[in-house]
Structure 1
Amino acid sequence: MSRETTTGAIAQQRRGHFAATVVRRTGSFVASLLVTFVGLTAVTFFISRLTKIDPVLTVVGDKATKAAYDNAYKALGLDQSLFIQYGIYLKRLLSGDFGVSVLTSHPVLGDLVRVFPATFELATIATIIGVLVGVPAGVLAAARKGRWPDHVIRVVGLFGYSVPVFWLGLVGLFVFYGKLGWVSGTGRLDVFYEGVVTLRTGVILIDAALEGQWEILANAFSHLILPASILGYYSLAYIARMTRSFMIDQLGQEYVTAARIKGTSFWGAVWRHAFPNIMVPLITVIALSYASLLEGAVLTETVFAWPGLGLYITRALFNSDMNAVLGGTVVVGAVFVGINQLSDLLYKLFDPRLRTP
């Protein structure tokens, strides 16, 4: 057999192996998504059915006649077994039908598309604040372990993830809006700016910039900065604590000592040698922090009347709007699954060992 033939056979074998690996990983990914989706919807559906909230009364009202109640009971499929009800709900869900919200009288899917960008905007800015401040703070605390910078950062972090978020929000509104007037109040925009900008992405900062509405952009930022900072403080406290823990472990490794012996400066050893080795676990921490904020930041959105997913679910619960509650819960679960998969992809970028089949 010639050398060219052998090389071609090896190349073909490698391509076949690569294709098989791709198919296997894709199948595993799809199966994982399906199992997670079915489990999530099943748990939320059956819990909603076990609550004391009567979905029929939510539709017809508590003054409806028995005949109207019975007709609505059958129309909603509640005369079927729970498993049949779940099958019907899952079939509708897969077709994009989340039901109609009792509170807004609009399709739940449309409501979720409308409110989610507000939560995305708030959580993204908060996470950026948490990463930009929390990561350097954690590295500094680890590098100065047992000294005053470490003690200060640990106390600040302890305060951040111990104090209730809603209390920080109320204090922030009282001080920075009520007393100092440095920021705007609740909501996303002042009332007279509502509806001026065409919502293309749903993110006010982006849409205002696309239309060149710089005054509205400044007003939106003034409304956003306080709730984002409150959530960012909560996020940076967690990120700083975990970064400190990861860095302390790496700074005690022999390769850091070897780098110092070879003449590398202390901060050079910290940032060029130790810090890259904590990127993989740090990605998980940041991803989990971001996902927790994307849940809706219920208390913060309630305090600041921020029209996002958290406030939508809260109002739905208070009004026994179970279609909206279930739809919001499914979105939250989908966000967690999506962010976990994204973090897996980022692992491969920062850890070359995971790039091989």
Structure 2
Amino acid sequence: MTDIGSNPAEGRGSALPAFIWKAFKLLLTVAVTFLGLLLVTFLISHVISVDPVLAVVGDRASKATYDKMFIEMGLDRPLYEQFWIYIQKVLSGDFGNSFLTKKPVIEDLARAFPATVELATLAIIIGTLFGIPLGIISAVKAGKPIDQFVRIIGLIGYSAPIFWLGLLGLLVFYANLGWISGPGRIDIAYEYSISPGTGMLLVDSALQGQWEAFRNAFSHIILPASLLGYNAMAYIARMTRSFMLTELAQEYVTTARVKGVPEWRIIWVHALRNAAVPLVTVIAFSYGSLLEGSVLTETVFAWPGLGLYLTNSLQVADMNAVLGGTLVIGAIFVGLNLLSDLLYNLLDPRVRRRGGKS
């Protein structure tokens, strides 16, 4: 008699509903998280001391003008109706108009965000390329002088004020040595030679074959990206060291050494492969922090990204812009969290097996 439990077709059939259920739970979690983010930003807009009506009509407007705008903005309706209208507007991409630029906030964000993405992406590449090898070397040589050196370098990068490093870097490499270009994204001579595409100057100039503009844009971005990358490298190296120390103490490493497996293979293949699972989350959230936390760097280097846009908006109480930027940052972290979960499942077979048994 055929064993029903060993039927491959039945195994595939039972795995599919499990996958669908897991995907549904994941999407539900993302939806609830984003709804909570919308609720928080909505409540913030109602508890701040800035009057949104006065921000539109001005403090010299008549009471009739004020009352008319108050009704047009829907502020006379119950809070739950205002929240529903707010959700509809956000989902349609309507964040209102910026009081600072007099343009729709979505247009300002579409212009500022690519600059931040370009800066943060180059920074996380630098941080990852240097942070992981340094963390591995530090773990392998734990307690030795090279380990102490790496930890000191990491401590400086993790604790030194980024604005101080930025000013020092400009003084040394721009003002004194002249190795790089100064603040801003690109010299004005090349600003209009690149047709708008992705909004990322390095990508657009390379795609269009504008190599002089590419070199100029690179000379502007390399210092702020290196400083942010140094900060990210310090954290990634520290976490890599911690994960690798844990893996190198496992029994499978001892067994591999007894079997005569080369040390480089044990470290760079077996141990690193297992340490890569939690490292994915570390790198993902480091990238998210760079996307939302580079305010001081963008201010020091006059980098026209999301951080500088939010800083200028806060100074004039432009709450439409601030809340729109906050939503974008929140959505970034939700997306990165989702991405890290997916990569975690792909890299760790134990998670896939548990998922298939649920």
Task: Place the TM-score, normalised by the shorter chain, in its bin.
Answer: over 0.9
**Cα deviation code 1:307-345 (max 9, x no counterpart):** 111111111111221111111111111111111111112
Cα deviations by residue, 1:238-289 (Å, 9 ceiling, x for unpaired): 0011111111112222222222222234333221222111011111111110
* Separation of aligned partners in 2, 1:288 and 1:300: 18
CA, structure 1 residues 15+263, in 2 after alignment: closer, same or farther (shift >3 Å)? closer
Give the secondary structure class of the aligned counterpart of 1:263. coil
- Residue equivalent to 1:142: 139
Task: Look up the SS of the partner of 1:93 in the other structure.
Answer: helix
Supply the distance in 1 between the matched residues of 2:281 and 2:55 (Cα, whole angstroms): 41
Displacement after TM superposition at 1:198 (Å): 0.8
Q: Per-residue deviation at 1:12?
A: 4.4
SS at match of 1:161: helix
Instruction: Give the equivalent residue in structure 1 for 2:154.
Output: 157
Query: Is residue 330 of structure 2 the alignment partner of residue 326 of structure 1?
Result: no
- Give the deviation of 1:187 after TM superposition: 1.1
**1:311 equivalent in alignment to 2:341:** no
Q: Distance in 1 between matches of 2:190 and 2:196?
A: 13
Indicate if the aligned counterparts of 1:99 and 1:107 stay in contact, CA closer than 8 A. Answer: yes
Unaligned runs of at least 5 residues, structure 2: none
Query: Which residue does the alignment assign to 1:351?
Result: 348
Choose which of 55, 58, 61 in structure 1 pairs with 2:58: 61
CA shift for structure 1 position 96: 2.1
TM-score by length of 2: 0.93
- The residue aligned with 2:215 is 218
Q: 2:33 aligns with which of 20, 33, 36?
A: 36
Offset at 1:152? 0.9
Kindly provide the CA deviation profile for residues 70-90 of structure 1, in whole angstroms up to 9, marking residues without a partner as x. 222222222333333222111
Corresponding residue of 1:264: 261
Give the superposition deviation at 1:27.
1.5
Distance across 2 between alignment mates of 1:26 and 1:251 = 34
Q: Is the 1:205–1:220 Cα contact (8 Å) retained in structure 2?
A: yes
Instruction: Out of 343-352 and 171-180, give the one that drifted further.
Output: 343-352
**Structure 2 SS opposite 1:295:** helix
Matches within 5 A, 1:1-357: 10-295=7-292, 297-356=294-353, 357=356
TM value normalised by structure 1 = 0.94
State percent identity of aligned pairs: 57
Structure 1 residue ranges without an equivalent (≥5): none
Structure 1 counterpart of 2:258, one-letter code: I
1:123·1:228 contact (CA, 8 Å) conserved in 2?
yes
CA shift, 1:102, in A, is 1.6
Once residues 58 and 302 of structure 2 are traced to their aligned partners in structure 1, the CA distance between those partners, rounded to angstroms, is: 28
Instruction: Answer with 52-61 or 256-265: which moved more.
Output: 256-265
Q: Counterparts of 1:355 and 1:253 in 2: how far apart (Å)?
A: 22
CA distance 1:13–1:254, shift in 2 (3 Å): closer
Cα distance in 2 for residues equivalent to 1:147 and 1:134 = 18
Tell me, in whole angstroms, the C-alpha distance in 2 between the residues paired with 1:139 and 1:171: 30
After TM superposition, the runs of 4+ consecutive aligned structure 1 residues lying more than 6 A away are none
Instruction: Name the aligned partner's letter for residue 67 of structure 2.
Output: D
Is the Cα–Cα contact under 8 Å of residues 176 and 182 in structure 1 kept in the other structure? yes
* In 2, Cα distance between equivalents of 1:138 and 1:123: 21
Task: Please give the secondary structure, in 1, of the residue aligned with 2:130.
Answer: helix
TM-fit CA distance, 1:234: 0.5
Give CA-to-partner distance per residue, 1:87-133, whole Å, 9 cap, x none: 21112112222212222222222222221111111111000000000
Report the count of equivalent residues.
Answer: 354
Give the superposed CA RMSD: 1.9
Contact 1:296 1:308 in 2 (8 A): no
Distance 1:301 1:277 in 2: 36
Structure 1 residue 209: Cα displacement? 0.8
C-alpha distance 301-106 of structure 1, shift in aligned 2 (>3 A): same
